[in-house]
Structures are given as C-alpha cells and as structure tokens.
Amino acid sequence: MADLLTIENLDKDYSGVPVLEGVSLTLAPGTILGLIGENGAGKSTLIKCLNGLEHCCGGRILLDGHPVSFRNTAQAVAAGISTVPQEFNLIGELSVCENLFLGREPRTRFGLLDRSRMRAEARRLLAELRADLDPDRRVETLNVAEKQFVEIARALSQNCRLLIMDEPTTVLNNPETELLFDIMRKLRATGVSIIFVSHKLREVKSICDEVAVLRDGRIVGRDATAKLEPDAMARMMVGRELSRKFPPRKAPPENAPVLLALEHVSVAGVLEDISFELHRGEILGVAGLGGSGRSEMAETIYGLRRMTGGRMILDGREVRFRSAPQAVAAGVALLAEDRQGAGVLLDFPLEENITLTSLPRYGRWFIDRKAERGRAEFYRERFSIRAADTRTPVRSLSGGNQQKVAIAKGLDPSPKLFIFDEPTRGVDVGARSEVYHFIRHLADEGVSCLLISSDLEEIIGMCRRALVMRGGRLAGIVEEDAVNEEEIMYLATGVK
C-alpha cells in the first residue's frame, strides 16, 4: 500500500541553530507510530512542521505522494492532518457540540445556527468514540479525559487521516488510558494513522506498531515495536546506557520521629477523615486515580484550603494554616502539579523564580540582588539547570529544566516537609532520573517528602510506604512488599 505520509530530508533551524537535520520518515495508512525522544530532541518542532505551525527550511513533506506545504493549521486540517495538543484548544464556556463545530457551524437556510443538526452530528461522533458524553454539557465541567475525547472527536469530524497526539496520556489515569488506547485501535482499523508522542515507553510498546526515535534533531532509530523493549528505546533516546532509574529505596531510621500527623482531617466536599503519619526523612507515596483528592490533600497541608475537621500536627505542634505564607513559615513546601499554571512564572528570569517564595531572606527593605543571583547560581549548578545564565526567562527552558527551577523555588526557604505533586510530569527520561535522585537526597538529609504520582512505577520505585486515595478518602496504606501495582490498583479502584 502506498504511504500516507512521507517526510524527506526535513531540515529546520531557528536563526541558524539546527533543530531538525535530515529527518526522513514514512507512515503507512492505518499505522500507529510512536515518536519518542528526550525534551529538546525536536519532537515538537517536527510536529509543528507537519501541522502547519512552522515551515521547514529544507526537505519535503508528501501526503499521498503529493508534496504539501502548509501555511497554517487550517490548511493542514483541510488536508487531513489534525493534532490533539497537550494544552487543549477548547472554550470552557461553550458546550461540547459548540466546541466540536467551532468556526464551521452548520447553518439553516436562514443563516442561523442549525442546533439540531449540530447535536445529532455530535452524538454520532461521540458514539463512534464510545464516549458517553452529553453534547450539551459545558466543556469546563468535563474532566481532562473527556476534554481529550472532544478534541479527538473534533479531529474525526474534519475527516482526519493523520492524527498527531502530543503526550495524550500524561493527564490520564490507567483506566482512562486504556479507553484512549481502545479508541486509537478503532481509528487504526478505519485506516487513520496516528503519530503518538509520549515519554511513557511502556505505553508506546503496548499501543504502537512502530517506533521512531529522535535524538538531537535526527532520527536515530526506527523499528517495529515488537522488536524493541522499553529499555532499548530509552537507550536509543539518550544514546547511552541508562544508570538505574531509581535510587535505592530506603526506610527512614528506626527511631525517626513523626514530623507530620493528620488526624481525621476533613475539608468539606473534598476530603474526608484522612489520618496518617509521616516520619522525618521518609518518602511517603500518595497514589490514587485523578480526582481522588491527592492534590487537594496537598493543598490543604500547604494552607491553600481550610480544614473543616480534624487536626494536623507538624513537628509536635498542632497547626491550622489559614494561608500558604503560614505553611511556608512553618516549613512546608509544595511543588504544584500544574507547573506552568501554578509553579513558575514563565516571563520571569530564573533567579527571580527561585527566590519568589523565600524573598524575605534577601533583605528587609531592598532586595539584595547579588545574594539572590549567587543563590540562583548555586541551584543552577547543583541541579545542572541548562540555561545560559540566571537572567534567562524560564519560558525558554525545557520542561525538565523548568521543573528543576520550580523545585529550587520550593527548596530555597529550607522546608522540613516537601510535597511533590506529579514531579516528573512532562519531564524527559534523563531529567526524571535526576529528580528521583534529588528527592532521595533530600530525604537522606532529613526532609520528609510526600510523593504524589499517577505513575505507579514511580511510587513503587521510590517509596516503601504509600497512601492510596479514593473519592476524597484514604482507601488504605500499603507498606513494603504490598507496594505493588496490583495492591495499589485494587485500593484505588475500590475492588478490594
């Protein structure tokens, strides 16, 4: 069968700095291609060249054997290439079906919106995806998985033949991911090809037919998935043998005192009756599906939500934070789940991000810029943050380096308790391992860590004890050998 997509010797540079060099790739109809590579390898740029957001500087893109050159995304969509972006392009105030037909609404012969046709068409599309969604629901009331279905349905309604999905599973939990994979298989059966960009190599292994590996702007490998194991993929991505991904698991010392204790803590409508103890120097995992209250618990400990019941004891003293500044003063740090929305100021330079929480330390009246810069320089070296200097705006850093800045920001006030909410989301393999070793190191220094993660491998690799949450409650605490995938999923889904 003729190839749907052919990329020949694609070059792309930004003002002379090469980002893609001689990339060639073919894709047959009805194939799922995994596109993997570290952050900065050129994945996003390649995608942008395909969907019309960027122009390539050299080489050709052929669709059905005909050279194409898109000046904008609309042309790409018209040619049958749709993208499900990481950040969804949906309007929260509008309904599902209004979003589906945004900009190309069917009209009646009087020029008014043909609502009944929109609704019927939306129902048909969603039914095709087996997504049980009411077309009249407002998009802002949907969860991330449902929003993603809307994006996919929109692509399908535009007769898409090549669907590009940019890290679609980072925001999904396991059952949702399975559902997405079912949809992807159905699409493949109808002849749609999919480019699946992901950092999760096991998922790539399970869903993709073929894998292409990008490194430093070149394709360094392309093979059938059946022949590649995830660790082989990882080796190709980084171009070297990976050291062990996780640092050794360690229990805190026998006599380690309790640093944080929650006793029957509740937050009306969000959390109910949460009790647990966290020891000094312990890394306590927090697992659970999306919406199980993990982040809400983190926000409560950090003073962003008010407890409506129960007690919280930090370092032997009962505390009742009414705001984040109080929590910070008491030695709590939070790495927020939503890095760009709550973690770092993209337009601020590195140094000003790092000292944002700890600014009172840098002078009573005037900011001691020299001390600030010195401190930022210290973190840049310690975390090997790849940035030209500490004046560089955080926007220009890669996801992994942005995360390191966010961690440095939390660390600078010298916390006793550090809550990591999804610390490796959108972080590439190399930086991920650095984050793990960093958390381990912090715990060794006596800081207590809460590690919230949707990535079970991460919890299992890092923690000897983990909380499992479900529906705003503590479903159970697993320890030692019970920290395994089956046990956690049983508790998280309520099977047990």
Partner 1 sequence: MTKSLSFQKNHWNRFLREGGPWLALAVLLVVCCLSSESFRQPQNLLNIMRQVSYSGIIALGMTLIIIGGGIDLAVGSLLALSGVLGIMVMNQVADPLVGLMLGAGVALAVGIGGGALNGLLVAAGRIPPFIATLGTLSIFRSLALYAADAGLVSSGNDHFRRLGAAAWLGVPVPVWVLLATAVIFSILLNRTRFGRHLCAVGSNERVAHYAAIRTGRIRFLTYVLAGAAVGISALLLGGRLNSISSTNAGLSYELDAIAAVIIGGTAMAGGRGSVWGTLAGILILGIVSNVLDMWGVSVNLQGAVKGAVIIGAVLIQRKR
Q: Which residues bind partner 1 (CB under 8 A)?
A: 14-15, 17-19, 40, 304, 323-325, 327-328, 334, 336, 341-348, 352, 356-357, 359-360, 363, 365-367, 387-388, 391-393, 396, 409
The C-alpha atoms of residue 288 and residue 478 are separated, in whole angstroms, by: 12
Alpha helix positions (H), 39-137? 43-51, 73-79, 96-100, 115-128
Nearer CB in complex with partner 1: 281/415: 415
The C-alpha atoms of residue 27 and residue 457 are separated, in whole angstroms, by: 31
- DSSP state letter for 129: T
End-to-end CA distance of the chain: 49
Nearer CB in complex with partner 1: 6/392: 392
The C-alpha atoms of residue 219 and residue 42 are separated, in whole angstroms, by: 10
Residue 356 Cβ vs partner 1, minimum distance, rounded to whole Å: 4
Residue 335 Cβ vs partner 1, minimum distance, rounded to whole Å: 10
Question: 34 — alpha (psi -120 to 50), left (phi > 0) or beta?
Answer: beta
The C-alpha atoms of residue 98 and residue 119 are separated, in whole angstroms, by: 9
The C-alpha atoms of residue 459 and residue 451 are separated, in whole angstroms, by: 7
Residue 357 Cβ vs partner 1, minimum distance, rounded to whole Å: 5
Residue 333 Cβ vs partner 1, minimum distance, rounded to whole Å: 9
Nearer CB in complex with partner 1: 82/295: 295
Residue 104 Cβ vs partner 1, minimum distance, rounded to whole Å: 29
- How many C-beta atoms lie closer than 10 Å to residue 200's C-beta? 18
The C-alpha atoms of residue 416 and residue 403 are separated, in whole angstroms, by: 20
Given the DSSP bridges, would you call strands 448-452 and 283-288 parallel, antiparallel or unpaired?
Answer: parallel
Nearer CB in complex with partner 1: 360/494: 360
Nearer CB in complex with partner 1: 39/51: 39
List of residues 6+ apart from 318 with CB closer than 8 A: 311, 312
List of residues 6+ apart from 206 with CB closer than 8 A: 181
Residue 294 Cβ vs partner 1, minimum distance, rounded to whole Å: 16
Residue 14 Cβ vs partner 1, minimum distance, rounded to whole Å: 5
Please give the single-letter amino acid code of residue 186: K
Nearer CB in complex with partner 1: 6/295: 295
Nearer CB in complex with partner 1: 62/304: 304
Residue 54 Cβ vs partner 1, minimum distance, rounded to whole Å: 12
Q: Give how far Cα 262 sits from Cα of 215, 310, 472, Å.
A: 46, 8, 14
Nearer CB in complex with partner 1: 15/255: 15
